[in-house]
Structures are given as C-alpha cells and as structure tokens.
Amino acid sequence: MAVPPSTIPLPVVPRQALPPEDLEAVTIRFCGDSGDGMQLTGLEFTKSSALAGNDLATYPDFPAEIRAPAGTLPGVSGFQVQFSSREIYTPGDAPDVLVCMNPAALKSNLADLEAGGILIVNSGAFTEQNLQKAGYAHNPLEDDSLTKYRTFPVDIQKLTQTALATSGLGNKEITRAKNMFALGLVLWMYSRRLERPIADLKAKFAKAPAIADANIKVLEAGFAYGETAEIFTQKYEVKPAKLAPGRYRNITGNQATALGFVTAAQRSGLRLFLGSYPITPASDILHELSQYKNFGVMTFQAEDEIAGICAAIGAAFGGSLGVTTSSGPGIALKTEAMGLALMLELPLVVCNIQRGGPSTGLPTKTEQADLLQALYGRNGESPVPVIACKTPGDCFETAYEAFRLAVKYMTPVIFLSDGYLANGSEPWPIPSADALPPIPVHFRTEVEGFHPYLRDAATLARSWVKPGTPGLEHRVGGLEKDALTGNVSYDPLNHERQVKTRAAKVASIAQEIPPTKVLGPESGEVLIVGWGSTYGAITQAVKQLHENGRSVAAVHLRYLNPLPPDLPALMRRYRKVLVPELNLGQLVKVLRAETLIDCIPLSKVQGKPFKVAEIVARVEELMVTKLGDAKASRAAAS
Amino acid sequence: MMLTKKDFETDQQVRWCPGCGDYAILATVQKLMPELGIERHNTVFISGIGCSSRFPYYMNTYGMHSIHGRAPAIATGLKATRPELSVWVVTGDGDSLSIGGNHTIHMLRRNVDLKILLFNNRIYGLTKGQYSPTSELGKQTKSTPFGSIDAPLQPARVALGAGGSFVARSVDVEPAHLLATLRRAAAHKGSAFVEILQNCNVFNDGAFEAITDRAQKAQTQLRVEHGKPWVFSEGKKGIRLNAKLQPEVFDIAGPDDLAQAIVHDEKSELLGWILANLGPPDFPTALGVFRAVDRPAFDALINEQEQQVRASKGAGNLEKLLSGNETWTVS
C-alpha cells in the first residue's frame, strides 16, 4: 500500500544533479510544538550522522510542560545537533539550519539564526490562529522580515496529507507524521540514506504497522521532495570525522551514568541498588537501570526522595552498592540522610543531575548552581567527596570513579552532572571494562580485634561488615560515636577527634588525584578553570583562541572536593584566572577560599549552556584589559 | 547451642527514664528472640529517632539507629537486598505517624517483610513533652498550652488503611500478651505491624491507665483471638453489630446471648477496622491480632522478578551492554 513519491504533486522539471558541497561542520536545529515530535526527529538525524562517521554533539531543549497549549510559545520544543568532519566539543553556538514547524517555533528561535542561514518553515502551519498564538501581527512569510535568511517555505502539512491521502488514517495520525517529512527533507539535504530511520520507525511502531508505514511514506516523501522540488538547489555533505580509531556508539549523559554504575557493580562483584524518585532531568537513569535486572541491578522507585536515599543506605548497610539519583530539589530533601551515610561511614553515591534553580526553578533547563549545595549543604561538619563529569561520555568514567571512591573510603560521594550532559549525546568510544581501575571490596569477617570504627591506617576508612557475619554484631547510628567502639559518645574531645578524622579521610583522597591536565601553554596570560558541562565550550573556545595566537590555557576539574593538590601552583603560572560557570560564581568562591588566588567569574544563568563565542569574547576582553593595565602601569612609572 | 535472653542483651547501659514502659518491651523482645531460632547475626533492628528508637543499642544483634522517621525506608532497602535477614523496625508515634508517616504507609502497602514495633505513648518524650499525632483532642502540653486542636490518628487504622497484612495491638505492662503478639508478628511473612501502648511516666503518665489498671481492665480491655467471640468483662459483655453495621455492647446473660457476639476473623478487613476504632468512652480498647492475611511480600517479589528476568534474558553481558545496539568503527 506504499504511495509512490511520484503521486505527490511536485514540479517535474528534471534538474541537473549538482555534486554535494563539502562542509566541515553544520549545526541544525529542529523546532516545533512539543507535540510535533521534534525530539524524535533530532534523534534520528543524530543517529544518521553518527553512522555517517561524523563527530557530533546534541542539545535537546524542551519545555517543562509535557504539552503546553498547541502553537504557543511555551510549548516550543527544540533539538540542536552539530555534526562535523573534525573534532567538535559542543552542539554549536547557533544553528546554520533552522527548521520551524510553526510560527511559535520561528518566533522563539529566529534570533539565533545568523543572516544567510537556511530557514525551512512549515508554511502550512502559518494560519491566522497560529500566528496570533505566537504573537505575530503579520505573517512573517509574507513580509520582508525573513529576507536576510535563505528561507524555504514548504507546506509540510499539506504535503504530508497528500502523501497519506490513501492511507486510510485519520487526520490526527496524518498530522502527527509531519515531522518525518522534515526529517526526510533534511536527510536529503545532507546526502544521507533512509535505511536507518526506516528500520527505526518499523521497530518503534512494531505494534502499529499502519502508523509505521505512514511515517515511512512521509519520510520518503520529504526525501523525494528535496530531490525533485526545484527550490533546493544544493545538497551538502559532511565527511566522516577523523576520530581516534575504535568502535563507537552514540550515548547520552544519563545512559553513560547508568552504564558506569552497572560496570562498577560488575567489576566489584556487588549488587547495585538504586533508590530513586522520579525527577527531571534524572529519571532516565532510573528508567535505564530498571532494565538491567539480569545484571543484578535492583531498582526501587521510592515513595519520595528521602526514602530513595534511605533505601540505598539500607542496601549499603547490607553490602550492596547503594546509589540514589535526583536533581537539586530532591537533593535538598536528601541532605539529612547524606549526613547519616557519612556518619555511618557507608559507601553511597548521590547523583545530582542539576537543573535551573532555586526551588522548582527551570526543571528542563541546565545550570551548575548546586555546587555549593553539594560541597556544604548539610548540617554539621560534613565533608563529602564531590566529583563532576564533563561530557556525556565522561559520565561513564565519573560514575564509575564515584563508586570506586565510595567503597575505598567508606563514604557517600556526590556525583554532579546536569541537564545539558544528561540529555545531550556524543559519539563514545566503547570502553573495555577491564581497562578501568579495579574496585576491590573486602567485607570483614575476622572477629579477633574487631571494632566498628577501627580504621585503615592509609585511607582512614572503617571496615565494611555485612549483617549476617557471625561474631561481628554491632550497632551504628547518627549519634556521635566513640572513635573506636562506635558506641554513643558525648565526650567533647572524642567528638572533635571524630570530626577531624572524617574531614581528614575525605581530604586524603587528594593524594590519588592525577596531575591536572593543561590544554595550552604551561604558563601565560589567562588560565580558564572549568568544571562540569562547560568543558565543551571552554575547549572549543581555547582552540579558537590558540588559532588567534592568544596565550590562554584551560584546565577542567573532575574533583571538586578535595581539589587537585597541584591546582594552586598551576593557577599562579598565569596572570589571570577565568572561571566560566552556569551560576553566579560558585567555584570562584571555592577557589578563592581554598587557594587565596583571585579568580574572575564568567557567569551565565539563562538555563542554557555557554556559547563558544561568549567565552572567546570574555578572554579577548581580558587581553585588552591587560594592555590597559600595562599602559596604566607605564603611566604610573613615568 | 540454645541462645538465652541474656545473649541478646548488650553491654550498653539502658538509658530510658526509670519507670519507662520501654524497659518491659525490651525485656519481652529479648525473651522472644531465643525462641525464634534465628541467630543474632542474622537479626537486624533498625530505628528512627525518639525514646523508643534507642532500642537497637540494647539488642546484641546488628542494628542501626537512623534518622527521624526513615527506619521503614532503610529497612526496605536492607530487606530487599538481604531477604534472608530477620529485620525489625522500632519506632514511636511521632517517628512513624508524623515525620515518617509517608514511609510507614508505603512500607505497609508494599508489604515488606519487616516486624514493626510502634511504641505509642501519645506524646513526644525525647523533646520533653509536646503533643504527638496520637495525642487526644484538647491535650495540654508544652506546645499546646490551650489544648490540642488536632484530631489524633489511630495507628491501627492507618495500618489497615495502608493495606497492612498484619495489624495488632498490645500493651507494655501485659508481658504475656505482648510476647504472644510478637511471636505471631515474627511468624508473619510480610509487614507485621504491632502497636504497643506504652506509658511515658514522665511526660504522659497514665495515658493508658484505664486500660491497664487491674481493677478496671476487665471492663476496658477486649482481648481478641481468631475464631473466638468478642467478649469482655469476664464473659458478661459482648460486642455485636447492629442493623447499621455499627458495633454495640450487649449483656451476656446466657449461652444464647453469646451467639450474638462477633466471632473474630483475622481475615476480615471489616472486623479489623471495627476493632481499630473501638475505645472509650463507649467501648473497651481492643488488644490482639486485628488482622492477619497472606499477601506476597515486596522483598520476595522483587527478587522473584529478578530471577524471572535472568531466566528469560540470561545473565547480563557487560561487553554487550556497553556496546549498545548500534555501533560503528573508525579505522
């Protein structure tokens, strides 16, 4: 029942096939109503880019509302992907190609499109009603407001309807397939093939073959439209990137996090227990891990955030790798239990997939404003190791490292990711689990000489004893305890000793932090210190600045508590230290306090990642200031 | 080697106020333990915060004195991953019904195989005398100098409402009854919820005096047993249901009258509910096992599901998992 593309009314004038033009990197943003399937469209295009061998990075950006009123500005959902024939680190500052499925999408995204950029617009959606909902007094397709772009109005709505005229599907189902037209058209523009998306659609709609057929038909229609309609004069191609040799897959941050935990469990030989409560943008880790029961992974969707962490503490007490996943507001609820875990000195990983705050804030948008919460947000002197991942793929190693530290030092460890990393994706060289450092686990069974809080001399960790071990029955709790027996103790000096010991234990982790890697010169004008998801933008910015001959270097911190011991000396080798963060300068506060070296904040709190250009511009400013300083000092000298 | 009560005592000095009802409960639990035939090292007591929650320090088993209200959640994680352990939760009326109310109801609805001892003294003792969620209306305390205006919760009603598969009530000063009730709880597979009426002689002395006073208790206690009629006052009074299904007290003059009394059935949700609601001024307070039904326990289900997935999918292969479904090679 396939409708051949030739039944679609198209200009039939044969065209001379131009060879595709080679491009180094392209950024495409698909945007439309949150019910328009933009995320699926973006994901399919991403897969096709991965299979074409491009380096890539993605940035899904969607509203907190599942379905805001159709056609309105709050309902606009977007997916940006940059794909390239060279190594890239970000999903692109601004789109080269903007695909807009309705007026609201155009209105809220057009400002990001550079003059001369390609704009594909679903003209059929530009009805009076939709224009009004988006706040347009005039139809922008009919005035000259879009002339500075290469605008292609395509009535995707109507072309989809035509393609499915004989499908027997209702208007609702037909309308829902229109994203596949856009996908087909863009796949054609970038010289891609349709096999992959067709196979995916068949799998996705395996239980509804009619819907699968319809989507495939529309996809093919979009592709054919590019081929035969005369309006697109040029096809493009982005050649495969020269990535390091190896086997790759595409991975999101949350997927990589989940895999890191499973790998830690497999390598340590322990059960993984996740206690979690659904929260954006962390829930995908729960979804992912709940599939892995055959790996001995137990997931528990608790009644609330507190029960999630407490169940994980219970599992850790029983000898499992306990983990809890959440985002800022949920972490706030877990803080008392984190204090318990550090008092009990049990291994536990607490994952904060940060989002815009405070309070409910911006649930689907990214931010890095929970650093101070992670470092200090508990009652009492309560040191906890804090580590952060820097790219979607890096979530894997960082999650694994979180468990390695938790088990080795018998402590809760906070793992910081954010919405940008969680949902963003990149090509990931598939690791070999054997190449990771081992996670040796020793459960004490020896009765002779046992005391619950007897510590290992090197790590200051107490031993892990599983209930069920004969002769080692003991009680632990949140009250201050005797430094050896663990019995409740209100002795003042014992308390001070215990507070200092717990601090020393966490501080001692610094000894095993590897030397900090510097991107750029070993000394110079500006050092950029970053942490977390700003890695991509900082790295790209530094590479660009190097091309401009700037004396700038960058370091990126995985360990935020304790800090790398070589950091202060390293920072002193540069005239200025710039710290870009998606908050109002939280790492800056920490660095000033810990190193007594002043740092310059570069803050952004818009729920969006840094653009490369923003970091480049700030560094350039600092270079100018330097000249100013030099002049001033000359003036002072004369 | 047969263990004795002494084996379950610790070297820690018990630090409840002299005369506290908790001593009697501790002694009864320590007496019960040896007869269960479970080794000390396979037994775990987990508590929250409050006077009652000091309990684990005095039991020579594994134990955790955790944070306020969270013992059910911690115990759930332990029991799910270590189903072979015998796990007990010790809590109070504030711990389990106020700050930890959410965990209590979810533990019960999941039917986690835990033995829950709720010491109900109808007061906050550790914080020195504020009203609790089970304090009666009008109760004058430090924080309610003009009397409490909060309607009290009835623990057994909460437990039944949450789907508790085993709900019972006993009292600190009736060691034989308490022992028998705890023995039943220990044998139950699933959440076994035992409310223990407990006297706080410092901040709420005599809260249950009417029920425990020797001179009155025949009139004020209704001891229920499965298959036996609801009678009290030395067999002279019974409880029956009227046409509106409301309980009423009636006099038992002869054997014919006895037939009107409700015969206790632990499987009946309705009878459990009626028992939970009985109390002064019109009724005696019910003691015993109100409800006991078999229902799959959470910890058994979660492990069975894992086994099923393992059987159908085979043991997980890490290398395959890391590779995912779609890969490409760069050479």
Residues of A in contact with B305 (CB under 8 A): 293
* Own/partner pairs, A507-513, CB within 8 angstroms, 24+ separation: A507/A383, A507/A562, A508/A409, A508/A459, A508/A460, A509/A385, A509/A405, A509/A409, A509/A559, A509/A562, A510/A559, A510/A562, A510/A563, A510/A564, A510/A565, A511/A565, A513/A559, A513/A562, A513/A564, A513/A565
Q: Is A81 exposed, middle or buried (0-12, 13-18, 19+ CB in 10 A)?
A: buried
d(CA A421, CA B248): 65
Tens of pLDDT, residue by residue over A427-447, are: 999 999 889 999 999 999 999
Lowest mean pLDDT among A184-188, A242-246, A269-273, A428-432: A242-246
Q: What is the ipTM, given to two decimal places?
A: 0.98
What is the distance between the terminal CA atoms of chain A, rounded to a whole angstrom?
A: 88
Q: Do B79 and A275 touch (CB under 8 A)?
A: no
Nearest 5°: the CA angle A155, A161, A165 is: 150
Q: What's the pLDDT band for A614 if we cut at 50, 70, 90?
A: very high
Cβ atoms of residues A588 and A599 within 8 Å: yes
Q: Does A476 touch chain B (CB under 8 A)?
A: yes
Nearest 5°: the CA angle B85, B90, B91 is: 145
Stretch A496-516: mean pLDDT? 98
Query: What pLDDT score does A479 carry?
Result: 97
Element (H, E) at B186: helix B175-187
Query: What pLDDT score does A392 carry?
Result: 97
Stretch B109-133: mean pLDDT? 97
State the sign of the Cα–Cα–Cα–Cα dihedral A544, A547, A553, A557. Answer: positive
Q: Does A293 touch chain B (CB under 8 A)?
A: yes
Q: Does B78 touch chain A (CB under 8 A)?
A: yes
Query: What stretches of A296-395 adopt beta strand conformation (E)?
Result: 297-301, 321-326, 348-354, 386-388
Query: What pLDDT score does B228 carry?
Result: 98
Cis bond before residue A440 (omega within 30° of 0): no
Query: What pLDDT score does B324 carry?
Result: 94
Q: Do A298 and B73 touch (CB under 8 A)?
A: no
Q: Which one has a higher pLDDT value, B226 or A243?
A: B226
Q: Hey, which residues does A32 pair with through a beta bridge? A: A77
Distance, in angstroms, between B127 CA and closest chain A CA?
A: 15
Stretch A72-92: mean pLDDT? 94
Tens of pLDDT, residue by residue over B171-181, are: 999 999 999 99
Residues of A in contact with B106 (CB under 8 A): 302-303, 307
Q: Does A336 touch chain B (CB under 8 A)?
A: yes
Q: Does A294 touch chain B (CB under 8 A)?
A: yes
Q: Does A487 touch chain B (CB under 8 A)?
A: yes
Share of residues in chain B with pLDDT > 70 (%): 100
Secondary structure (H, E, C), A12-70: CCCCCCCCCEEECEEEEEEEEECCCCHHHHHHHHHHHHHHCCCEEEEEEECCCCCCCCC
Burial string for B230-257 (b: 16+ CB within 10 Å, else e) reads bbbbeeebbbbbeeeeebebeebeeeeb
Residue from B11, B47, B74, B89 whose CB has the most chain A CBs within 10 Å, to mutate? B74
Q: Does A240 touch chain B (CB under 8 A)?
A: yes
Residues of B in contact with A295 (CB under 8 A): 315-316, 318, 321
Q: Is A311 exposed, middle or buried (0-12, 13-18, 19+ CB in 10 A)?
A: buried
Q: What's the pLDDT band for A229 if we cut at 50, 70, 90?
A: confident
d(CA A525, CA A625): 11
User: Domain residues of chain B, as ranges?
Assistant: 5-214+266-292
Q: Is the pLDDT of residue A633 over 60?
A: no
Q: Does A86 touch chain B (CB under 8 A)?
A: no
Stretch A128-138: mean pLDDT? 95
Look-up of token digits 């005039």 = A138
d(CA B117, CA B91): 6
Query: What pLDDT score does A233 carry?
Result: 78
How many CA atoms lie within 13 Å of A62's alpha carbon, on the beta-carbon side? 21
Q: Is A347 exposed, middle or buried (0-12, 13-18, 19+ CB in 10 A)?
A: buried
CATH numeric code, B5-214+266-292? 3.40.50.970
List all residues of chain B from 48 to 67 with a beta carbon under 8 Å from chain A: 49, 56-57, 59-67
Q: What's the pLDDT band for B227 if we cut at 50, 70, 90?
A: very high
Average pLDDT, chain B: 97
Minimum CA–CA partner of A271 in chain B: B81
Cβ atoms of residues B98 and B69 within 8 Å: yes
Distance, in angstroms, between B172 CA and closest chain A CA?
A: 24
| Tokens found for residue A504 | 């020393």
Q: Is the pLDDT of residue A2 over 50?
A: no
Q: Are strands B231-232 and B237-241 parallel, antiparallel or unpaired?
A: antiparallel
Distance, in angstroms, between A377 CA and closest chain B CA?
A: 17
* Residue A3 DSSP symbol: P
Tens of pLDDT, residue by residue over A358-394, are: 999 999 999 999 999 999 999 999 999 999 999 999 9
Q: Is the pLDDT of residue B204 over 60?
A: yes
Query: What pLDDT score does A626 carry?
Result: 53
Residue A163: closest CA among A171, A152, A153, A174? A174
Residue A576: closest CA among A638, A516, A618, A540? A618
Query: What pLDDT score does A243 carry?
Result: 87
Query: What pLDDT score does B2 carry?
Result: 85
Residues of B in contact with A333 (CB under 8 A): none
Q: Does B331 touch chain A (CB under 8 A)?
A: yes
Element (H, E) at A452: none
Q: Is the pLDDT of residue A627 over 60?
A: no
Q: Does A412 touch chain B (CB under 8 A)?
A: no
d(CA B264, CA B275): 10
Tens of pLDDT, residue by residue over B271-316, are: 999 999 999 999 999 999 999 999 999 999 999 999 999 999 999 9
Stretch A88-98: mean pLDDT? 95
Query: What pLDDT score does B206 carry?
Result: 96
Stretch A143-155: mean pLDDT? 93
d(CA A175, CA A248): 35
Look-up of token digits 């990931």 = A428
Cβ atoms of residues A221 and A163 within 8 Å: yes
Q: Do A245 and B331 touch (CB under 8 A)?
A: yes
Tens of pLDDT, residue by residue over B37-94, are: 999 999 999 999 999 999 999 999 999 999 999 999 999 999 999 999 999 999 999 9
Cβ atoms of residues A170 and A7 within 8 Å: no
Q: What's the pLDDT band for A298 if we cut at 50, 70, 90?
A: very high
d(CA A620, CA A592): 23
Tens of pLDDT, residue by residue over A524-579, are: 999 999 999 999 999 999 999 999 999 999 999 999 999 999 999 999 999 999 99
Q: Is the pLDDT of residue A342 over 80?
A: yes
Minimum CA–CA partner of B315 in chain A: A294
Average pLDDT, chain A: 93
Q: What's the pLDDT band for A625 if we cut at 50, 70, 90?
A: low
Lowest mean pLDDT among A144-153, A525-534, B102-111: A144-153
Q: Do B81 and A337 touch (CB under 8 A)?
A: no
Query: What pLDDT score does A624 carry?
Result: 80
Stretch B82-110: mean pLDDT? 98
- A370 Cβ partners below 8 Å, 6+ apart? A328, A331, A352, A354, A357, A416
Share of residues in chain A with pLDDT > 70 (%): 95
Query: What pLDDT score does A5 carry?
Result: 43
d(CA B266, CA B273): 11
Stretch A576-594: mean pLDDT? 98
d(CA B61, CA A472): 9
Element (H, E) at A586: helix A586-595
Residue B82: closest CA among A317, A445, A345, A440? A317
Look-up of token digits 């944070």 = B67
Q: Does A368 touch chain B (CB under 8 A)?
A: no
Q: Do A294 and B79 touch (CB under 8 A)?
A: no
